[in-house]
Amino acid sequence: MDSFARLLKSYDYDFPKSAVALEPAVPRDAAKLFVYDSATDKAAYDTFRGLGRHLPPRSCLVFNETKVIPARLKVIKETGGKAFLLYVRDVGPGRFEALCERSLAVGSNVRIAKKSLLVEAVSAGRYTLKIIGGGSPVALCRRYGLMPLPPYLKKTPLAEKDVREKYQTVFARRAGSVAAPTASLHFTPRLMRAVRAAGHDVVFVTLHVNLGTFLPLKPEQVTAGELHEEQYEISTSAAVKILAAKRSGRPVIAVGTTVVRALESAAVAKGIVKRGTTKLFIRPGYRFRVVDGLITNFHVPKSSLLMLVSAFIGREKLLVLYRKAINAGFKLFSFGDGMLVLPKMKPHLRRIRDPRTTRRGT
């Protein structure tokens, strides 16, 4: 077994198929919350509705306000065959890059309803397509696309119109992602009001999640210490609030791994870079510069996201906590339950009831 295979094996774990959530909790903030206090090495169960009972006083919670594009497009080839495109990004007016499950001939046309697209080029498995007659690729996706759910959600009972609502945060504002920042799916307007009323700062940044989040980790990524590239943007007001929290000793809690990547990529010696791209690969041994704590979902085995969370508490400890959560009935992955990893600050964890009766579905 080579070193890469050993690395992946060390981040593997077993779970029953029934542990994979195929639809979200109803209401969203009824999802279960696994709380781990790094300072005391203690754990407790709650629901997201009780999040405020566990946050350190005057925390600064940072959310990703990206919006998921219905990026999966069904096209008809010149031969009459059908295929699905997955929008990746714009590459110019009326042009975009996409993946396709089947090969497309360069120079050929494909159709989406009455719209024709020219296949201009292909490189490294990505096709460049031009919308004949012009138009916005994002607008094309919004009109004709399907939400790009992860492979493990193919059997969701939700209809497309329900997926468009539920696989989107309540504060999604800036279109550009092909996957949701799933830790934020648990937040409702009621919960956001409660967080603010409890004296915590609420800050929004943007990182557009791309298809790399679905793909298996590759040996060359480990060797290079870099992951897929994603774009982020942090407003001046957000940067000011985050830096003020750091300077006053208040904890910065990232809501989701996407926020971790954005903030840690933006951190420089004297401040925060407002806009850029990131290939940051966070693994155990990484020294965090901005983020103190994390709210996140339970991630698939052998993934870079599992490694990122391990950087907060260690690989062995994380796998032990995952086993406890699975045994306690927590649901996994995008529509699953979540986890709060508290920073190593003053102990404040409260033990409360074990909410194992969460209702899911509509």
pLDDT digits (tens, 9 = 90+) for 305-314: 999 999 999 9
Co-location of 260 and 239 in the same domain: yes
Which among 28, 48, 53, 58 has a CA at the least distance from the CA of 165? Answer: 28
We report the CATH number of the domain holding residue 255 as: 3.40.1780.10
Strands 126-131 and 226-233 turn out to be unpaired
Share of the chain above pLDDT 90, in %: 86
Co-location of 102 and 19 in the same domain: no
Query: Over the stretch 1-33, which tens digit does the pLDDT of each residue have?
Result: 799 999 999 999 999 999 999 999 999 999 999
> Residue 353 domain-assigned?
no
Strands 126-131 and 82-92 turn out to be unpaired
d(CA 182, CA 180): 5
- Domain with 268 in it: 3-68+159-342
d(CA 170, CA 185): 7
> What is the structure's pLDDT at 13?
98
Q: Which residues contact 351 (CB under 8 A, 6 or more apart)?
A: 44
Residues 152 and 118: beta-carbon distance below 8 Å: no
Amino acid letter, 254? A
Co-location of 319 and 216 in the same domain: yes
> Residue 42 domain-assigned?
yes
> Residue 361 domain-assigned?
no
Co-location of 82 and 188 in the same domain: no
Task: Calculate the average pLDDT of the chain.
Answer: 93
Residues 87 and 96: beta-carbon distance below 8 Å: yes
Co-location of 230 and 117 in the same domain: no
Whether the full predicted model's pTM is greater than 0.75, yes or no, is yes
Co-location of 44 and 134 in the same domain: no
C-alpha dist (Å) from residue 150 to 12, 17, 167, 175, 286 = 19, 15, 11, 18, 28
> Residue 150 domain-assigned?
no
Q: Answer yes or no: is pLDDT of 348 > 70.
A: no
213 — pLDDT class (breaks 50, 70, 90) = confident
> What is the structure's pLDDT at 124?
84
Co-location of 139 and 90 in the same domain: yes
> Residue 134 domain-assigned?
yes
Co-location of 191 and 327 in the same domain: yes
Residues 361 and 157: beta-carbon distance below 8 Å: yes
> Residue 356 domain-assigned?
no
> Residue 119 domain-assigned?
yes
d(CA 279, CA 97): 19
The encoded tokens of residue 46 equal 């709650």
Query: Over the stretch 294-308, which tens digit does the pLDDT of each residue have?
Result: 999 999 999 999 999
Q: Answer yes or no: is pLDDT of 270 > 90.
A: no
> Residue 324 domain-assigned?
yes
Please give the tally of structural domains in the chain: 2
We report the CATH number of the domain holding residue 109 as: 2.40.10.240
Co-location of 178 and 321 in the same domain: yes
d(CA 199, CA 60): 9
Co-location of 79 and 208 in the same domain: no
Query: Over the stretch 80-114, which tens digit does the pLDDT of each residue have?
Result: 999 999 999 899 999 999 999 899 999 999 999 98
Q: Which residues contact 114 (CB under 8 A, 6 or more apart)?
A: none
Co-location of 25 and 113 in the same domain: no
CA-derived radius of gyration, the chain: 21
Q: Answer yes or no: is pLDDT of 349 > 50.
A: no
Beta strands in 256-337 (DSSP E): 267-268, 271-272, 275-280, 293-297
Q: Answer yes or no: is pLDDT of 353 > 50.
A: no
User: Per residue, what are the HEC states of 211-278?
Assistant: HHHCCCCCHHHHHHCEEEEEEEECCHHHHHHHHHHHHCCCCEEEECHHHHHHHHHHEECCEECCEEEE
Share of the chain above pLDDT 70, in %: 95
Co-location of 338 and 207 in the same domain: yes
The encoded tokens of residue 274 equal 């407002």
